[in-house]
Amino acid sequence: MAKAIQEELIRYLSGGQFVSGQWLGEQLGVSRAAISNHIASLVDMGLDIYSVTGKGYKLSEPLTLLDENNIQRKLLELGQKNKVEVHNIIDSTNSYLLRRLPNQNHNLQVCLAEYQNSGRGRRGRKWISPFGSHIYMSMYWFLEQGMAAAMGLSVVSALAVSDAIKDLYQIDVQLKWPNDIYFDGVKLAGILIDLEGQALEPCHCVIGIGLNINMPQKSAEQVDQPWTDLQEVINKSITNSEDKKVDFIDRDELAATLITKLSLRLQQHQSEGLATMVNEWAKHDFYFNKPVKLITGTREKKGICRGINSQGALLLEVEGKISPVYGGEVSLRGE
């Protein structure tokens, strides 16, 4: 019930005009006190709402929500037929698709959300998900060859994010093994891959992508690592003084392009493996040929990053010997 009321409140407020609490209560069949409580919950989600006595509630600026039909239309124009669902409020886009296993997902099906109240990063970290500010997206991918075929999917997904940003904004990003996208050395996007199935049987894969678009200040204060967002990246990349700064990023267009690039990369990986992508990764590899330290629990190993191999493993050189590192609960840091 609370979710339904909150979604209706968002719809009423999205135009950026004042809406009275009494009128909202009448429309939704609840008291003004209840409206006040729900507004407070929306503020906690990252929406910038303020109130003025005698006028009501207002968003600081109009809110452009993701449009499922528009995204689907743009995908058809790009030659894709992915099934797409857009949710306003959800626990996690990855969790949603995982709950639908094994028979309720179509291959390359996508879930997008405006807000995740239980968004997840790698190693159980919380993914800060302010409402309507970023892209939170998950795609289902069936692995007929089993879990062994999942090797390198974080590399494939990171390249797809790079493809989309390059295609739309002519910007080159940096990739950090195993699952981060950087710009100027700070995090722009992250990838989370969930697998379900048996090692030697066909299995299910859900690929989650969180891409920062326009980070609200209050949400930024909750992020515990250096970050950037696409709005800032694009404006930093403007070199011609006559070019105007970008105030609006079309998230529908970005979502459709990202879905397209990820679909194409997954199909490339299925038919060719990762070997054809290794050189592409090297061009964007943030730590390539740099001193790094590999952190596993309380242990650290120092060496030189030599890129990745054709299985998507990190190649770490220690005392002249290069060894592959195959993901898991591992963090890569600059030395």
Residues known to be catalytic: 122, 187, 333
Amino acid identity at 114: E
Q: Which of 282, 186, 182, 178 is nearest to 225 (CA)?
A: 186
Contact at 8 Å (CB) between 81 and 54?
no
The whole-angstrom separation of Cα 313 and Cα 334 is 17
Helix (H) or strand (E) holding 219: helix 217-220
Q: How far apart are the two ends of the chain, measured CA to CA in Å?
A: 50
Q: Which of 177, 202, 205, 184 is nearest to 277 (CA)?
A: 177
Contact at 8 Å (CB) between 274 and 265?
no
Q: Which of 234, 247, 251 is nearest to 132 (CA)?
A: 251
What tokens appear for 111 in the block?
């879930």
Contact at 8 Å (CB) between 85 and 59?
no
What tokens appear for 50 in the block?
């303020």
Q: How many CB atoms lie within 10 A of CB 139?
A: 28
Contact at 8 Å (CB) between 319 and 304?
no
